[in-house]
């Protein structure tokens, strides 16, 4: 049976090689619509020569060198008749003196051909229908593009090829098996047909063109691991012979297929058409090889994972090699080898976007002004490999023992596993390496068998498998020898809270490789890419509560974002805005010039959990901060969970820090043991640096004795204007009309807000106090505390003016003023909120408007307290305080929280 199958293959191959066998067929008849019922006699053969006895050409008839340019068009580029015409137009528009065009099979055809073989081997009768589909696809394409003799010739060749294939597949069907050579012969027909069609289209356009069956020129030998090695010497002799007999200035050559030294059809394996183009570029000593595809060039990272990946203008051969090895969609790693020897550049271009210049891969460019090069100059791109496992071989018995590594990797080789990366500690105590996850069980089993005696004796402590890993590789010329690159890379990973499991860095200076958890891989990729290609610091921001303070903050972010990105390399992206009823989400960043309209028109139902998940996870930025601009206890209750999941929190909301002590302590404990930050500067003093000043004092070793201050802008305004004979109720009404008070002034006069600020400061000083521990002197008369409405309260307040007026008069008589203050007495571990009298020379008596003032009495500032004074209320200054915390976060990312 196999002998019959071999005879079939021999017949079919002879049909393609006229030196072995020439067949004449009857005249072919076509409908009048196609060729006006004309008949054509033709020779069923390809334009190939007898390669078994190559003749040496005349030197003058063979032209090589930079007059040739090589173009390679993949299956997508020749996927339809229209696209084939576009390819022809590109070739005709190329001003090069001579052109070689390498083509793949039409889109999906190679898969269809392999499917035919599978069906025939499985004795599935549908292989006949599948073969008919292949025939129809190419017939219809030819009918669209060709006419006259060109059409007749191609259809006759196609028909003969299909009949030969049918006979071959029938033999495979009967035998239930086909050899690799049979498969290669069948699969290569797609390239033969697309090359013939394109060459006919070019001739139709007036181009002097012929086509080349590269099986008659390109000779390769198997190299194991599903690879082949070109025989350049033999291939060059055959090419010279071919060119001497086919002197056309435009040649359309088949990609993917080749022959063995015994003239047996084979392939360059999958993705081999690029390899074909590179080999031909080397054989022709061409000026340039252009690979046409469906992307604008080589990206700095996978654009499916990093939406802001950029097209690289240039890559060195080594950079492209490294990126392709690590899975980047560049070229097959072996594609680069043939052109390197002759410094032939490869250009990746998009056939669907001719305006894009593409990416040029060439010899390492000489950098001008090298001292001015930035880190970004040296890091070109990032690539990842998923579905890996780490194998760690560890033991004290490995140190200094020759042959251990050889034994380890010999065992790995024996099971046919591919080692992706190796890392070994200098102590020789352990060796770890990465292999595909599907191969790790066999590797572990082989190692355990090989080292069973060493394990039993204790010389090896373990052979451990760490599953669910991914590799992230940073690639760039000289980056390993450039100070700061590795630090920047690992700093970006640290800021994104990515744990690195293993590291490998070769002395080639072209890549740094890290192993991370598979679930962290995309976040790690985005983190390092954003650091090198976007800004030094990129933060996804979620705004909770777009009310007065939140809206003001959004406007401040809008006005300052571009400046921060350009001058400070801080990229702040508002990925979500949520109110009480609606929320607006974005994957790339909300347009802050139109956020109100977008929230109104495109906002969806508010869902705080969905909001937090989106801002934290569904984008390319690794750092996330949620900014709570509400006064909601319900929102504050989420802080602990957010911090636990790695989300930074910034807020002017006092509820969390002044709430139940156990919750506060739990929140701060979590914060301090992580790299996740919790900033709340605006909870006390709005935009004044109260909390920051207090932290600086404590962290530098100063001891706080007492904190005393006017913390309420509302009450500051009231008592700064409660002078002379003015009534207290009159000043309160004035403050309400000016917008200084809450809608219900009792919320300010009750002193609860000041008490919350006192508690926040006291806890920052280390006092474990509850809000109920703070005595508060309320300025709301007892009879009016239960008054139903604000209007009733305001109407009845004047009847109580005399009581506070008496206090004012007593103070004036003593040369003093009244001020409503909060006090933290650290030495006595207590706090208070009260109406106190101060001498007119006291700093608290010098205030105006709604200013706040806070005095820190410490061991260092004992005789003269440290004073912080300024506006302590209002949307602008409060939002400014929150904005300052966001910038503080940007500068502290990756550092321990405090």
Q: So which residues are the catalytic ones? A: 757
CA pair distance 766, 771, nearest whole angstrom: 15
CA pair distance 138, 134, nearest whole angstrom: 7
Beta strand residue intervals within 294-356, DSSP E = 314-316, 346-350
User: What is the CB neighbour count within 10 angstroms for residue 168?
Assistant: 22
Residue 638, classed as helix, strand or coil, is coil
List, as own/partner pairs, every contact residues 418-425 make where C-beta atoms lie below 8 angstroms and the sequence separation is at least 24, other chains included: 420/385, 420/388, 420/471, 421/471, 421/502, 421/504, 421/513, 421/515, 422/504, 423/502, 423/503, 423/504, 423/515
The CA-atom distances, in angstroms, between 857 and each of 84, 690, 697, 758 are: 83, 13, 11, 15
What's the DSSP call for residue 815? T
CA pair distance 574, 546, nearest whole angstrom: 12
CA pair distance 271, 269, nearest whole angstrom: 6
Phi, then psi, of 172 in degrees rounded to 5:
-65, -40
Phi, then psi, of 773 in degrees rounded to 5:
-80, -10
Residues sharing a CB contact under 8 Å with residue 473, sequence separation 6 or more, in sequence order: 322, 323, 326, 382, 383, 384, 385, 511, 512, 513, 514
The CA-atom distances, in angstroms, between 580 and each of 291, 583, 712 are: 54, 8, 27
The percent helix, strand, coil of the chain (3-state, each to 5) is 45, 20, 35
| Dihedral of alpha carbons 494, 498, 499, 502, sign | negative
Among 216, 273, 214, which Cα is nearest to 73's? 273
Q: Is 271 left (phi over 0), alpha (psi -120 to 50) or beta?
A: left
The CA-atom distances, in angstroms, between 449 and each of 396, 405, 437, 502 are: 19, 15, 19, 25
User: What is the CB neighbour count within 10 angstroms for residue 785?
Assistant: 12
Q: Is 552 left (phi over 0), alpha (psi -120 to 50) or beta?
A: alpha
Residue 381, classed as helix, strand or coil, is strand
Q: Check if the beta carbon of residue 695 is closer than 8 Å to that of residue 678.
A: no
- Which DSSP string corresponds to 677-719? -EE-GGGTTTTS-HHHHHHHHHHTT--EEEEEEE--HHHHHHH
Q: Check if the beta carbon of residue 303 is closer than 8 Å to that of residue 526.
A: no
Residue 254 parent element (H or E) = strand 250-254
Among 104, 106, 94, 290, which Cα is nearest to 207's? 94
Sheet holding 604-605, edge to edge: 604-605, 582-585, 570-578, 537-544, 623-628, 648-650, 678-679
Per residue, what are the HEC states of 840-856? Answer: CCCHHHHCCCCEEEEEE
Residue 513 parent element (H or E) = strand 511-517
What's the DSSP call for residue 567? I
């Amino acid at each position: 049976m196999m002998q019959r199958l071999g005879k079939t293959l021999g017949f079919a191959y002879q049909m393609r090689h006229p030196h072995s066998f020439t067949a004449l067929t009857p005249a072919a008849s076509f409908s009048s619509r196609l060729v006006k019922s004309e008949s054509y006699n033709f020779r069923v053969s390809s334009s190939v020569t007898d390669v078994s006895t190559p003749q040496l050409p005349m030197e003058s008839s063979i032209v090589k060198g930079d007059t040739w340019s090589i173009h390679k068009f993949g299956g997508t580029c020749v996927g339809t008749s229209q696209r084939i015409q576009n390819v022809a137009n590109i070739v005709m528009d190329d001003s090069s003196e001579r052109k070689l065009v390498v083509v793949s099979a039409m889109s999906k055809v190679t898969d269809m051909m392999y499917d035919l073989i599978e069906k025939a081997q499985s004795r599935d009768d549908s292989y006949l229908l599948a073969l008919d589909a292949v025939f129809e696809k190419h017939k219809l394409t030819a009918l669209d593009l060709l006419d006259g003799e060109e059409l007749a010739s191609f259809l006759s060749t196609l028909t003969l090829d299909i009949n030969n294939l049918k006979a071959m597949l029938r033999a495979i069907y009967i035998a239930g098996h086909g050899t690799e050579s049979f498969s290669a012969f069948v699969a290569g027909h797609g390239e033969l047909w697309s090359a013939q069609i394109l060459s006919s289209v070019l001739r139709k356009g007036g181009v002097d063109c012929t086509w080349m069956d590269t099986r008659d020129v390109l000779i390769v030998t198997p190299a194991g691991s599903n690879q082949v090695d070109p025989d350049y010497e033999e291939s060059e002799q055959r090419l010279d012979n071919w060119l001497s007999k086919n002197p056309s200035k435009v040649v359309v050559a088949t990609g993917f297929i080749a022959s063995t030294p015994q003239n047996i059809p084979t392939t360059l394996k999958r993705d081999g058409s690029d390899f074909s183009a590179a080999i031909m570029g080397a054989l022709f000593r061409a000026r340039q090889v252009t690979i046409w595809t469906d992307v604008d060039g080589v990206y700095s990272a996978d654009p499916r994972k990093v939406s802001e990946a950029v097209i690289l203008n240039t890559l060195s051969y080594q950079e492209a090699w490294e990126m392709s090895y690590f899975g980047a969609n560049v070229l097959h790693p072996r594609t680069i080898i043939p052109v390197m020897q002759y410094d032939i550049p490869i250009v990746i271009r998009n056939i669907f976007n001719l305006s894009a210049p593409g990416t040029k891969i060439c010899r390492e460019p000489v950098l001008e002004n090298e001292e001015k090069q930035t880190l970004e100059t040296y890091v070109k791109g990032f690539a990842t490999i998923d579905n890996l496992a780490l194998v760690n071989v560890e033991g004290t018995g490995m140190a200094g023992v020759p042959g251990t590594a050889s034994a380890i990797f010999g065992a790995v080789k024996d099971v046919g596993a591919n080692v992706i990366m190796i890392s070994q500690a200098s102590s020789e105590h352990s060796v770890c390496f990465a292999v595909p996850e599907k191969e790790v069980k066999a590797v572990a089993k082989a190692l355990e068998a090989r080292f069973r005696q060493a394990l039993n004796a204790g010389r090896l402590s373990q052979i451990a498998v760490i599953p669910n890993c991914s590799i992230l590789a940073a690639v760039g010329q000289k980056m390993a020898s450039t100070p700061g690159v590795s630090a920047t890379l690992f700093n970006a990973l640290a800021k994104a809270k990515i744990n690195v499991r293993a590291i490998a860095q070769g002395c080639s200076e072209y890549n740094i490789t890290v192993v991370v958890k598979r679930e962290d891989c995309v976040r790690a990729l985005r983190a390092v890419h954003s650091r090198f290609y976007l800004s030094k610091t990129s933060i996804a921001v979620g705004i909770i509560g777009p009310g007065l303070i939140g809206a003001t903050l959004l406007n401040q972010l809008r006005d300052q974002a571009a400046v921060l990105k350009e001058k400070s390399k801080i990229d702040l992206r508002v990925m979500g805005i949520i109110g009480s009823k609606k929320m607006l989400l974005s994957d790339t960043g909300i347009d802050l010039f139109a956020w109100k309209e977008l929230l109104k028109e495109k906002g969806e139902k508010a869902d705080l959990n969905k909001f937090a998940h989106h801002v934290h996870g569904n984008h390319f930025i690794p750092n996330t901060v949620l900014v709570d601009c509400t006064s909601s206890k319900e929102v504050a209750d989420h802080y602990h969970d957010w911090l636990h999941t790695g989300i930074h929190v910034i807020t002017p909301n006092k509820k969390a820090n002044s709430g139940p002590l156990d919750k506060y302590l739990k929140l701060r404990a979590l914060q301090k043991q992580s790299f996740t930050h919790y900033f709340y500067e605006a909870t006390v003093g709005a935009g004044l640096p109260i909390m920051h000043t207090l932290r600086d004092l404590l962290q530098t070793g100063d001891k706080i004795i007492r904190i005393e201050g006017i913390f309420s802008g509302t009450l500051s305004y009231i008592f700064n204007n409660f002078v002379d004979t003015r009534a207290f109720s009159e000043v309160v009404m004035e403050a309400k009309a000016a917008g200084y008070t809450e809608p219900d002034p009792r919320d300010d006069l009750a002193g609860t807000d000041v008490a919350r600020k006192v508690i926040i400061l006291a806890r920052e000083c280390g006092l474990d106090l509850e809000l109920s521990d703070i005595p508060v002197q309320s300025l709301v008369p007892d009879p009016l505390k239960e008054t139903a409405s604000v209007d009733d309260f305001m109407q009845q307040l004047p009847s109580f003016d005399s009581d506070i007026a008496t206090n004012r008069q007593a103070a004036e008589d003593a040369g003093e003023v009244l001020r409503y203050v909060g006090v933290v007495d650290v030495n006595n571990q207590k706090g208070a909120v009260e109406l106190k009298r101060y001498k007119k020379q006291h700093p608290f008596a010098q205030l105006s408007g709604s200013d706040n003032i806070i005095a820190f009495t410490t061991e260092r500032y004992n005789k003269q307290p440290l004073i912080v004074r300024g506006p302590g209320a209002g949307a602008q200054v409060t939002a400014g305080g929150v904005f300052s915390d966001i910038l503080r976060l940007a500068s502290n990312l990756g550092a321990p929280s405090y």
